[in-house]
């Protein structure tokens, strides 16, 4: 973009303060999403809804990807205070809509997670709850840290009373997490709950959680996972099939592994894949397998490198950051982004039990794409250069 460094407009300030490398990597992932939509969606659309509606499905995802790119850029123009306010309103709205799915939502595959809006189609509100809660939790935890720092600066003794900010604000964050956990469990959506809790614990650790408490939390997580295995039949089924494929249906993961084998180093070529004609979720949960078959190991490695670059680059930008809210919020958004990508790719490669989770920006899905764009827009806003020394002018 030919924008002068002396340009003091909103666009000029945005361009010279944004992390352009991260922005480029995110736009590259959106480009891969468009390519994979062309590769995987037509076969799925023809099999599920018929040839006549295939173009409609493609056009719908093109619109969502365009909206995602626009939303990401617009949100990235916010200030940290604007991000905090936007996330708070978004968290409350998303939580209300997620709770509404229990009453007016429709059920699919045993879960009630979606709302149907006229003209807009279906929406999964909990997708938007993830990035907004990460920012709100960061704000509450940072308020607690600031209250503790203020008491230390004043030379006042430590006081663990609940009315003091050092306890009150983190307690509010934990309470909000408990409310979200109850709603997600009721849908049920244990995958989403796992991501939300993991991201929150990551933020709590970065905020200075005692290592003993970290160990207790880790043991608690292991205990909950073991409990879920014995209490929840679908969890036990997935784990058993992962450990011993002979005990149940492993059709999708078997075909996924075959796709990577057929793809080899350079792939069969665009449109030449076969797995998308067999796997029901080839355009969503198993889109990475389609990429492996048609474009080969090199393109899959490139996608993996892009995800890794975004996470590492974001953490590197935080090394010189002094604002605890920015550090915690960006850490939460990066952890969520990286964890979701890891779960999708690891499931597709049979490294962990299968879990229905989309690959950010690459998988088909309107709610997922827009929610991820919202989170990455807030990340770009939080990691912008602030102060008199701006990137590109140093």
- Predicted local distance difference test score (pLDDT) of residue 157: 57
Condensed to tens digits (0 to 9), the pLDDT of residues 262-298 reads: 999 999 988 888 888 888 777 888 899 999 999 999 9
Q: Using an 8 Å Cβ cutoff, are 247 and 241 in contact?
A: yes
Structure tokens at 361: 């920006």
Distance separating alpha carbons of residues 32 and 17, to the nearest angstrom? 26
Give me the pLDDT at residue 390, please: 44
pLDDT for 249 equals 73
Task: Judge whether residue 28 has pLDDT over 60.
Answer: yes
Each residue of 110-147: pLDDT tens digit? 678 888 876 667 888 999 999 999 999 999 999 988 77
pLDDT of residue 20: 93
Which candidate, 274, 256, 252, 250, places its Cα nearest to that of 43? 274
Average pLDDT of the chain? 84
Q: What is the mean pLDDT of residues 43-50?
A: 62
d(CA 179, CA 172): 11
Could you tell me the CA-to-CA distances from 268 to 47, 263, 281, 291 in Å, in that order? 22, 6, 20, 10
Residue pLDDT, tens place only, 315-357: 999 988 889 999 999 999 999 999 999 999 999 998 988 877 8
Let me know: does 207 contact 325? Beta carbons within 8 Å. Answer: no
pLDDT of residue 392: 39
Cα–Cα distance, 3 to 12 (Å, whole number): 6
pLDDT for 154 equals 63
Higher pLDDT among residues 150 and 185, named by residue: 185
Q: What are phi and psi of 8, to 5 degrees?
A: -105, 15
Lowest mean pLDDT among 87-91, 215-219, 222-226, 389-393: 389-393
Per-residue pLDDT at 5 exceeds 70 = no
pLDDT greater than 60 at residue 224: yes
- Specify the pLDDT at position 31: 93
Distance CA 219, CA 213 (A): 10
The whole-number pLDDT of residue 277 equals 81
Q: Give the dihedral sign, CA 127/129/132/136.
A: negative
Using 50, 70 and 90 to split pLDDT, how confident is the model at 162?
A: very low
* pLDDT tens for each residue of 192-211: 888 898 899 899 889 887 77
pLDDT digits (tens, 9 = 90+) for 229-238: 887 777 788 8
Q: How many CA atoms lie within 13 A of 229 on its CB side?
A: 12
Q: What whole-number percentage of the chain has pLDDT above 90? A: 43
pLDDT for the residue 389:
42
pLDDT band at 394; cut points 50, 70, 90: very low
Q: What is the pLDDT of residues 167-194, one digit of tens each?
A: 788 889 989 999 999 999 888 888 888 8
Which residue blocks in the chain are alpha helix, DSSP H?
A: 10-17, 20-48, 54-75, 80-104, 125-153, 165-186, 190-206, 211-231, 233-243, 251-263, 287-317, 324-348, 366-382
pLDDT for 123 equals 85
**How far apart (Å, rounded) are the C-alpha atoms in residues 390 and 394?**
6
Chain-centre distance for alpha carbon 200: 13
- Beta-carbon-side half-sphere exposure of residue 171 (alpha carbons within 13 Å): 9
Residue 214 predicted with pLDDT over 80: no
Q: What angle do CA 136, 347, 293 make, to 5 degrees?
A: 120
- Structure confidence at residue 190 (pLDDT): 80
pLDDT (mean) for 52-56: 62
Q: What is the largest CA-CA distance in the chain?
A: 73
Query: Given a cut of 70, is residue 104 above it in pLDDT?
Result: yes
pLDDT class of 6 with cuts at 50, 70, 90: low
SS3 at position 25: helix
Confidence (pTM): 0.90
């Amino acid at each position: 973009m030919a924008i002068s460094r002396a340009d003091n407009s909103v666009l000029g300030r945005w361009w010279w303060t944004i992390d352009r490398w991260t922005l480029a990597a995110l736009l590259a992932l959106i480009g891969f999403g468009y390519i994979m939509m062309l590769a995987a969606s037509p076969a799925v659309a023809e099999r599920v809804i018929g040839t006549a509606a295939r173009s409609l499905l493609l056009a719908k995802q093109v619109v969502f990807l365009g909206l995602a790119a626009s939303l990401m850029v617009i949100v990235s123009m916010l200030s940290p205070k604007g991000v905090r306010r936007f996330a708070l309103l978004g968290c409350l709205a998303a939580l209300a809509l997620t709770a509404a799915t229990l009453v007016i939502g429709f059920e699919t595959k045993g879960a009630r997670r979606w709302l149907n809006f006229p003209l807009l189609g279906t929406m999964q509100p909990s997708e938007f709850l993830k990035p907004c809660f990460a920012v709100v939790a960061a704000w509450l935890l940072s308020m607690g840290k600031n209250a503790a720092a203020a008491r230390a600066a004043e030379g006042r003794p430590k006081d663990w009373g609940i009315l003091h900010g050092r306890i009150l604000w983190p307690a509010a964050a934990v309470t909000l997490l408990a409310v979200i956990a109850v709603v997600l469990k009721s849908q049920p959506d244990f995958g989403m709950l796992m991501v939300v809790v993991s991201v929150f614990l990551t933020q709590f650790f970065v905020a200075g959680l005692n290592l003993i408490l970290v160990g207790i939390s880790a043991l608690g997580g292991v205990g909950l996972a073991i409990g879920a295995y014995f209490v929840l039949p679908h969890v036990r089924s997935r784990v058993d099939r992962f450990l011993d494929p002979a005990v149940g249906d492993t059709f999708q993961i078997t075909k996924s592994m075959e796709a990577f084998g057929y793809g080899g180093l350079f792939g069969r070529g665009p449109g030449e894949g076969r797995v998308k004609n067999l796997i029901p979720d080839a355009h969503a949960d198993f889109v990475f397998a389609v990429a492996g078959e048609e474009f080969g190991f090199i393109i899959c490695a490139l996608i993996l490198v892009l995800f890794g670059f975004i996470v590492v680059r974001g953490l590197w930008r935080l090394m010189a950051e002094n604002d605890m809210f920015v550090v915690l919020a960006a850490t939460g958004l990066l952890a969520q982004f990286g964890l979701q990508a890891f779960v999708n790719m690891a499931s597709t490669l049979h490294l962990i039990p299968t879990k229905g989770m989309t690959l950010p920006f690459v998988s088909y899905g309107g709610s997922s794409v827009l929610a991820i764009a919202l989170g990455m827009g807030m990340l770009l806003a939080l990691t912008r250069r602030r102060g008199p020394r701006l990137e590109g002018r140093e």
